[in-house]
Amino acid sequence: GTEESMANLARWEPAHGSFNFRHPWKLYVKIGAAMRRCAYCLENLSICINYETEAPDQVKKHFGEACMKLSSASSKILRELADMMKTT
């Protein structure tokens, strides 16, 4: 994928920073894949919450609130990870 291509190209950069020659490029690929899977799960969660089902309103409200909290926390984590990857 794109992350793998970018990580392979980045390996040719001169050694710099605290990592010097031991920069964890392969970890960026793993983190990118994990973030993408998390985003897919959040998208599916959003679809499930917003889908009009035959479940009673009380059940939808109960699960909807919990799912919204989970979605909000997960989004915050994804944003923080993205910001950290931009600055390293």
Task: Give dist(CA 70, CA 68) in Å, integer.
Answer: 5
Task: Give dist(CA 64, CA 34) in Å, integer.
Answer: 24
Residue 14 is classified by DSSP as P
pTM above 0.95, yes or no: no
Backbone φ/ψ region at 20: left (φ over 0), alpha (ψ -120 to 50), beta? left
Q: Which tokens hold the place of 78? A: 């994804």
Q: What is the average pLDDT value for the chain, to the nearest integer?
A: 75
Judge whether residue 68 has pLDDT over 70. yes
Across the range 33-42, mean pLDDT stands at: 83
Which amino acid is it at 78? L
**Residue of 3 and 77 predicted with greater confidence:** 77
* Of the listed ranges 33-42, 46-55, 70-79, the one predicted with least confidence: 46-55
54 is in which domain, residue-wise? 2-87
SS3 87: helix
Q: What percent of the chain has pLDDT over 70?
A: 66
How many domains does the chain divide into? 1
